Amino acid sequence: MTNTLMNDSYEKTVTRVTRRFADAGVRLGTAGTDADIIMKPPAYRHFLEGEMGIGESFQDGLCKEGRMTIKEFTQKRILGRLVGKPLRTKAFQQSIENSPIVARKHYSAGNEYFGAILDPTMQYTCACFYGGATHLLAAQLYKMELLGRKLKLRRGDRVLDIGCGFGGLAKYFHERFGVSVVGITLSHEQATYARRWCAELPIEIIETDYRTIPAEQGRFDKIVTVGMFEHVGPNHYVEFFEKCKQLLAPGGTFLLHSIFGGGMDPWLEANIFPGGELPTKAQVEEAIKGLFMPMDWHWFGRDYDPTLMAWNRNLKENRTWLERNGYDERFLRTQDYFLQSCAARFGTRIISVGQVHLSYEVIQEYEPTR
C-alpha cells in the first residue's frame, strides 16, 4: 500500500510538472524520448522547488539539454512566467567581514578556468558588441576604449579601479592613455595574476575592501568600477559613494558600470554570487544625492547575451582541458547553467547593464560618449 501511494504521488508530480512546463512550450521527458529537457526521476520533484530546484537539477546531472539548450529553456520559462522573483539578500552579507565570501566562492575558482573562457585581456564583464564588433576580443577592446574615452583619460592621470579583476583594464588604460592605476580586488588569485601581468608598469594592485583603501593612497583624478557594484548591497550604497567622493580629487569624474535589475536570483546567490544584489537605477539616484551629479546614463544590456554565450562556447571548447586540470563535472555543469541562464535573462531584457558617469557638479556642454 505504501509503495502504491508513493508511486501515485510520483506520477502526480510528473504529470503536474510536465503539464506546467508544456504550457510554457517546454517538453520534459526521460532518456530516449524526443524531449526538450531530458529528466531523471528525482528532477521532477526538484522542478517544483523553483529556481533553486531547477538550477540544482542541472548542476547534479539530474536533467540535461535535449532538443533545447539551457538558454532556450530559460527563455521559455521567462516568457511563460515560470521564473521566480529575485530575492533580497541580508544586509550583513556585504559587511567588511563577509565581503570576501564571493571572492572565495566564484572569483577564486582558478585562473586556469577564467583563462580558458575569457578573451586574452581577461575581461569578466559585459563587452560592447553594439559598436560593430564581430568577436569577443574586439567587443572587449571597444568596451575598454569606451570607458577611457568617457572618463576623458589624459596622460599623467591617476586612476582608481575598484574591483580590478585580473588587471586587464588597468593595463589597457596605462598602455592606451598613459595613466597610472591603483587596482583593488578581494580575490587573492586575481591579485596574484594582476601583479604578475602588470609587473614593471605604474600599476599597483592592492588586495583589500573598498572601505579599507589605505589613506596614504591619497586622491585620484578618475575612478572606475566595472562589475563590482553588484556586490556592495543596498544598505551600503551611500557608504560606497561617500568613500568614492573622499577618494576623488576635485574636478575628477567617476564611472560606474553595473548590472541593474533589483534583487538576485536565489540560485545565483547561493552558488555564484553570495550576498550579491542587483541595484536599480532609482537606488543609485537616491544614494548619490548630495554627493555626485549623474551626467549620463548608458544602457546596453543586450550585449551581455552574446558576451555570456561567447564565454559558454569557450567553456565547451575547453571542457576536456579543464577536466584534465582538475575541474570536476559538477563545477563545469554549474558554470554552463550559470552562463546560459544569465544570457537568457539579458536576452529577454529582464535585467540590463548600465554605465553612469558621475561628477562633483554639472559639466557645461556635456556630450555623452558612445
Catalytic residue among 63, 126, 198, 342: 342
Q: Would you tell me which CATH number, out of the four given (3.30.980.10, 3.40.50.2000, 3.40.50.150, 3.30.450.40), belongs to the domain 91-359?
A: 3.40.50.150
Beta-bridge mates of residue 254: 223, 358
Rg (CA), the chain: 22
How many helices (H) and strands (E) are present in the chain, helices listed first?
15, 10
> How confident is the model at residue 107, as a pLDDT?
82
Cell of 150: 568617457
Q: What is the DSSP letter of 363?
A: P
Other CB atoms within 10 A of residue 368 CB: 10
Q: Is the pLDDT of residue 253 over 80?
A: yes
212 three-state secondary structure: helix
Other CB atoms within 10 A of residue 367 CB: 8
Q: Please state the rounded mean pLDDT for residues 214-242.
A: 95
342 belongs to the catalytic site = yes
Q: How many CA atoms lie within 13 A of 180 on its CB side?
A: 9
Q: Is the pLDDT of residue 364 over 90?
A: no
**Beta strands 203-207; 180-185: pairing state:** parallel
Whole-angstrom distance, CA of residue 73 vs CA of residue 343: 11
Q: What pTM, to 2 d.p., does this model score?
A: 0.94
Whole-angstrom distance, CA of residue 5 vs CA of residue 351: 43
> How confident is the model at residue 363, as a pLDDT?
80
Q: Is the pLDDT of residue 172 over 50?
A: yes
Q: What phi and psi values does residue 261 have, to the nearest 5 degrees? A: 165, -25
Place of cell 558554470: 335
Q: Please state the rounded mean pLDDT for residues 162-177.
A: 98
Residues 6+ apart with CB under 8 A from 285: 294
> How confident is the model at residue 93, as a pLDDT?
66
Q: Is the pLDDT of residue 196 over 80?
A: yes
Q: Please state the rounded mean pLDDT for residues 267-278.
A: 92
> How confident is the model at residue 7, as a pLDDT?
76
Range list of H helices, the chain: 2-22, 41-47, 51-59, 70-79, 100-102, 111-117, 136-151, 168-177, 188-197, 237-247, 266-271, 281-287, 304-317, 319-324, 329-347
pLDDT digits (tens, 9 = 90+) for 57-113: 999 999 999 999 999 999 999 999 999 888 876 655 677 877 777 777 788 788 999
Whole-angstrom distance, CA of residue 191 vs CA of residue 111: 11
Cell of 43: 528532477
Report the share of the chain in percent with pLDDT over 90: 86
Other CB atoms within 10 A of residue 74 CB: 23
Whole-angstrom distance, CA of residue 70 vs CA of residue 54: 11
Buried b (16+ CB within 10 A) or exposed e, 207-225: bebbeebeeeeeebbbbbb
> How confident is the model at residue 1, as a pLDDT?
43
Domain positions in the chain are: 2-79, 91-359
Q: Is the pLDDT of residue 15 over 80?
A: yes
167 three-state secondary structure: coil
Q: How far is CA 214 from the centre of its chain?
A: 27
> How confident is the model at residue 304, as a pLDDT?
98
Q: What is the DSSP letter of 210?
A: G
Q: How many CA atoms lie within 13 A of 117 on its CB side?
A: 22
User: Where is average pLDDT lowest: 101-110, 192-201, 223-232, 305-314?
Assistant: 101-110
pLDDT-derived band of residue 5, with 50, 70 and 90 as boundaries? very low
Q: Is the pLDDT of residue 6 over 60?
A: no
